[in-house]
């Protein structure tokens, strides 16, 4: 292999990495903006603050509401794959698999009386095994489309709310966790942001808004 050929290969790889950096940066910024805008449009906060927590791979949003609102506060943290770093992106996909948007909704109007948690089955076995092993909860496994989910419910709880939520989502694949903590006035939601997540966020928002 001649020095000239090596030089052109080096230039090609350099240009590829530079192009990937700018394309990946723009892609992550758009993904984060779209996810946060969807959240803001659905819950209509009085004010919000967006904080960058990791270059183009992490953003945190805090939303505040007037005293008359159904909601007290919403906090969201979105973590994204490093699309701007082509060399590390394949490794990150193997480790983290996907982008994630974790949302904490503070509201005194929780539509259940006891702790209730819903997990995508594979996610639960990898990240919430301690919950699955707990004797506190009654577990129930269900299938929606090609996806399996697990309900973890206080023994006095029924799964009707989760049945309603999942039945209202045509493609529940991006949903990883939905937990209700009435003793903390808290709802926790974790899903993969993207084109197919709008039904998940809309369904959860409607359930909370319509509960009196």
Can you name the residues that pair with 61 across neighbouring β-strands? 50, 76
Query: Is the pLDDT score of 104 beyond 90?
Result: yes
pLDDT at 178: 95
Query: Is the pLDDT score of 78 beyond 90?
Result: yes
The tens digit of pLDDT for each residue in 133-153 reads 888 888 888 888 788 999 888
pLDDT at 62: 95
Stretch 25-35: mean pLDDT: 87
Q: SS3 for 57?
A: coil
Distance between CA 98 and CA 190 in Å, rounded? 12
Q: What percent of the chain is predicted at pLDDT more than 90?
A: 29
176 Cβ contact partners less than 8 Å away, ≥ 6 residues apart: 100, 119, 120, 123, 190, 191, 192
Stretch 114-131: mean pLDDT: 88
- Of the ranges 18-32, 52-66, 74-88, which is most confident? 52-66
Burial class, 120, CB count within 10 angstroms (exposed 0-12 / middle 13-18 / buried 19+): buried
pLDDT at 17: 66
pLDDT at 1: 57
Lowest mean pLDDT, pick from 91-95, 128-132, 141-145, 192-196: 91-95
Q: HSE-up of 75 (CA within 13 Å, CB side)?
A: 5
Q: What percent of the chain is predicted at pLDDT more than 70?
A: 88
pLDDT at 12: 66
Q: Sorting pLDDT into bands at 50, 70 and 90, what band is 10?
A: low
Stretch 88-95: mean pLDDT: 68
């Amino acid at each position: 292999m001649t020095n000239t050929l090596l030089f052109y290969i080096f230039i090609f790889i350099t240009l590829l990495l530079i192009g990937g950096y700018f394309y990946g940066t723009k892609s992550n910024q758009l993904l984060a903006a779209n996810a946060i805008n969807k959240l803001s449009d659905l819950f209509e906060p009085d004010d919000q603050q967006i904080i960058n927590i990791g270059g183009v791979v992490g953003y945190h949003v805090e939303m505040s509401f007037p005293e008359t609102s159904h909601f007290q506060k919403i906090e969201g943290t979105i973590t994204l794959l490093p699309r701007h770093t082509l060399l590390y992106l394949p490794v990150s996909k193997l480790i983290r698999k996907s982008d994630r948007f974790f949302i904490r909704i503070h509201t005194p109007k929780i539509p259940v009386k006891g702790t209730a948690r819903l997990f995508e089955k594979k996610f639960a076995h990898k990240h919430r095994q301690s919950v699955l092993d707990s004797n506190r909860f009654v577990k129930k496994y269900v299938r929606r489309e090609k996806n399996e989910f697990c309900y973890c419910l206080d023994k006095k709880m029924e799964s009707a709310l989760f049945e309603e939520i999942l039945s209202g989502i045509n493609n529940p694949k991006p949903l990883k966790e939905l937990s209700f903590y009435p003793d903390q006035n808290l709802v926790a939601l974790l899903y993969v942001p993207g084109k197919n997540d709008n039904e998940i966020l809309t369904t959860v928002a409607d359930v909370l808004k319509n509960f009196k």
